[in-house]
Amino acid sequence: MPVLGICYGVQLFAQFLGGKVEKGTKREYGKGALTVKDASCALFRNLPETLQVWNSHGDKLTKLPRDFKPVAVTENSEYAAIENRARKFFGLQFHPEVVHTRAAGNHRQFRPWRLWLWQNWTMRNYVERAVEEIRTRVGTEKVILGLSGGVDSSVAAALLHKAIGGQLTCIFVNNGLLRGREAEVVREVFGRHFKIKLQYEDAAKLFLKRLKGVTEPERKRKIIGRTFIEVFQNAAGGRARRNFSRRERFIPT
């Protein structure tokens, strides 16, 4: 079976197979130019010699595993695409699955890859599978979700609600760092529109107090993360004591 590693995927399998991954001299993020060096590779047949691709990485391959060869390069990486044709191992440092990689935007050009992903994967299939897995895992138990208003926790809330309905309670923690009216929008969408059980915790003053005078980004991130968990756990603990059995599941995201 062919194996394709994309971005971190190619770094991961290359490292395990004896190659080397190191921090690049500069980060490649956004549009880039890929130059194909071996058009006989199954990944690039019938494609132009130069392609616009989308990158998002800071590390890169600096040594290939045994019996691998480079098939495409960028200005920052001489191993932007690699292969071991005999073993059917292929690797791409760029992201072919996004529309910003123009050739991948037209999937017909990538049919030589014969990837199950593009032939069968749809968002509808993912949602249906995720909902089924959630229902199986949760059963009749109740779930408390920590909601920040960001993409991850919002998607988690929507999927959980679709899967288990009234078994879900969301605790929305306002950290005071949201966009204008965002807290109001989150309460409107999840509380009044989806009719999810929503507990609102306005902790803006606490977050801003702890962030006062802090300028280092990583320290800010850790303060925000720890404070969110603290506020969520305090709110969830009180709600669990009031309304939940001893078998509640806590899913802070």
In the set 57, 75, 97, 182, the catalytic residue is 97
Which one is catalytic: 28, 49, 95, 188?
Answer: 95
Order of strands, edge to edge, in the sheet holding 168-174?
197-202, 168-174, 143-147, 249-252
Nearest to residue 61, comparing CAs of 4, 96, 10, 5?
10
Active site annotation includes 170? no
Give the C-alpha separation, 34 to 46, whole Å. Answer: 15
Helix, strand and coil percent figures for the chain, each rounded to 5: 40, 30, 30
Beta-strand pair 143-147/89-92? unpaired
Asked whether the beta carbons of 58 and 80 are under 8 A apart, the reply is: no
What is d(CA 66, CA 25) in angstroms, rounded to the nearest whole number?
24
Annotated active-site residue 182? The verdict is: no
Residue 7 annotated as catalytic: yes
Count other Cβ atoms within 10 Å, centred on residue 205.
9
Q: Are 169 and 161 in contact, with CB atoms under 8 Å apart?
A: no
Contact 101, 31 (CB under 8 A): no
Whether the CB-CB separation of 147 and 160 falls below 8 Å is answered with no
Report which secondary-structure segment, H or E, holds 15. Answer: helix 8-16
Catalytic machinery residues: 7, 95, 97
